[in-house]
Amino acid sequence: MLKVKPKHPDYKGDLKVKIKVTAIDAEPTGTVKLFASGKKVGKGMLNSSGKLVIKVTKNLKPGKYKMVAKYPGTSAVQRSRDKVRVRISKP
């Protein structure tokens, strides 16, 4: 699951991306990387509930971005990825 807050971020405004990795009969652990249109904009470690919040402060230019969170997986949990489209508004 991948959610962006605020839903319609402004240019030069920070945004938070909420990430949740789920698995059956296992606890997801490890690092998740976040990309915006192919460029890495953040990474972080999952907590014990498989959740993570990444604050993006890269001052993304106005326009549309495809944000992708990539989880590499572990021996007990398969790798995964999720995506969301974001539009950065002009000032």
Q: Dump pLDDT digits (tens) for 11-22.
A: 888 899 999 999
Q: Indicate which CATH number applies to the domain containing 84.
A: 2.60.40.10
What is the per-residue pLDDT for 58? 76
What is the per-residue pLDDT for 78? 94
Q: How much is the CA Rg of the chain, to the nearest whole Å?
A: 13
What is the per-residue pLDDT for 7? 85
**Enclosing domain of residue 45:** 2-88
What is the per-residue pLDDT for 13? 85
- pTM surpassing 0.85? yes
Strands (E), the chain: 2-5, 15-20, 31-36, 39-45, 51-56, 63-71, 80-88
Please state the domain count of the chain.
Answer: 1
- Location of structure tokens 């997986």: 73
Q: Three-class SS of residue 34?
A: strand
Q: Dump pLDDT digits (tens) for 39-91.
A: 999 999 999 999 999 999 878 889 999 999 999 999 999 999 999 999 998 87
Question: With 90 as the cut, is the pLDDT of residue 34 above it?
Answer: yes
